[in-house]
Amino acid sequence: MNDMLEEDRDFGFARVYTVELKYRQRPEIDRDLLYKKMELYTGKTEQPELEEADAAGLAVWEAYETEKEQLLHFFHLNYMVRYSDGEMPAQTSLMNIDNRPVTDYETAIQQCWHWKEAAQTLSECSHSLLMSDMMASGLDPKSRLELFTGALKAILEAAPCDAIYFRESDKLVEPKEYLAAVEEGAALYGAMNLRFYNVEGTGSNRPEGLMDTVGLAALGIPDIQCHFYDLDPNEVGDHLINIGYYLFNNGDVIADGETIGFTEDMRWRCEHQYALAAPRRVVIDLDPGEPYYSGRQGEE
């Protein structure tokens, strides 16, 4: 077991996948509505604590009750995970957590090019819920994210929040933009974060940058990185996103030494490495060739 956990950490794989839902006002959730939404988006569902709650007359789930820790838990019978001794349904849960200060999200805010109001919105939020999956890591990446996305959609419709933070991709997203994106087929909108760093202090007078994705390794797929000179970051970013979706849809099918390209002139050499930028995880490093490559394939 310890060897398996160490291997997961080395790759960057997340046994438990989590997002934080941030609220300006204390959230209350209509349990019946949430249950209906869960079944709509994830299929047949069991919620063990529902019968007990109904018997007690608790139609509305109110986070931050002082009497006991609040937890909603769902068993998703359409997402069965096979083990050596049988099958078990993948699960999701929702619970209240302490609200964290804005400074805890500094790295996400720095790379939040897609949502300029993220920091301001976070500063106005005083309540947080944590959604996580359990026993779902045995699903293939597409099924796991499909389940997680469906459960998240159900919660967002039952209790709309003001900001979403994907812990595994270190990405902040605006809830309405997130829902619109996944509706249009952008399955990785929250799960994959595209980051860009200006590299300085290397002694070169040429513009040097590092661009990578974070979040794919948490699902069991290598992230992608490119360390380059003189290339347009927007074009590099488009390539990384396209490759990220290719890997998500097809698996880790790119072998070391293979080249990938989306134009006649594009032949970028691929190699599995450890990421140059934290967190530690496996990435596919892209070599755009001379005179643009600023990394060193074949060395950690």
CA distance 265 to 88: 48
Mean pLDDT value across residues 75-89: 90
SS3 135: coil
What is the tens place of the pLDDT at every residue in 84-93?
Answer: 888 999 999 9
What is the tens place of the pLDDT at every residue in 217-255?
Answer: 999 999 999 999 888 999 999 999 999 999 999 999 999
The model carries a pTM of 0.89
